[in-house]
């Protein structure tokens, strides 16, 4: 774990539709410019396809689509955050990823009651950095809960009479 002297973990701050999310540096393998994406037929809707990152082919999730925002065109600030968990490597598209921050574990607060639903299991909580509110993401949980149900071949087939 990357800890600073005060025992705070290091986070990468990403922005998505005007909201700031924090991803633990330990979960992140690298940050990349967005390359060519190849769509994968019949993959879940929030999967933008696969891309090649340093000799490996990895699936790419649009975090905007995943969190229910509208997809936007990629800009020079758009980043691919390559995360790693349970032996899987997955790319997450975010609007930008420009800052690092040390967030002490003790300053991460649980989510407000109204938000603590099933759909937000991948949010570990919130933290205040000065005036800014940061949603702290739980990357392993995010990847687990985005697992598509097993695909089946019947999706290839026209409806059988």
Residue ranges binding another protein (CB under 8 A): 1-2, 12, 25-26, 28-30, 35-36, 38-44, 47, 49-52, 55-59, 61, 88-90, 146-148, 150-154, 156-158, 160-161
Residue closer to another protein, measured from CB, 92 or 134? 92
3-class DSSP assignment, residue 147: coil
Residue closer to another protein, measured from CB, 39 or 104? 39
CB atoms within 10 A of CB 156: 9
The minimum distance between CB 151 and another protein, in angstroms, equals: 5
Q: 64, 16 in Cβ contact below 8 A?
A: yes
Residue closer to another protein, measured from CB, 18 or 55? 55
Q: How does strand 28-33 pair with strand 47-53?
A: unpaired
The minimum distance between CB 74 and another protein, in angstroms, equals: 15
The minimum distance between CB 5 and another protein, in angstroms, equals: 15
Q: How does strand 132-137 pair with strand 19-24?
A: parallel
- Name the nearest CA neighbour of 46 among 33, 56, 30, 59: 59
């Amino acid at each position: 774990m990357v800890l600073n002297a005060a025992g705070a973990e290091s986070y990468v701050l990403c922005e998505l539709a005007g909201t700031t999310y924090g991803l633990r540096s330990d979960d992140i393998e690298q940050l990349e410019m967005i390359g060519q994406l190849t769509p994968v037929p019949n993959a879940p809707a929030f999967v933008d396809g696969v891309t090649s990152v340093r000799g490996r082919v990895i699936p790419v999730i649009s975090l905007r689509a995943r969190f229910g925002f509208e997809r936007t065109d990629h800009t020079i600030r758009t980043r691919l955050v390559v995360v790693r968990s349970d032996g899987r490597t997955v790319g997450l598209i975010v609007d930008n990823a420009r800052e690092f921050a040390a967030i002490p574990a003790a300053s991460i607060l649980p989510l407000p009651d109204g938000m603590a639903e099933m759909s937000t299991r991948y949010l570990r909580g919130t933290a205040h950095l000065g005036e800014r509110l940061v949603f702290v993401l739980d990357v392993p949980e995010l990847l687990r809960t985005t697992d598509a149900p097993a695909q089946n071949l019947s999706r290839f087939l026209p409806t059988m009479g």
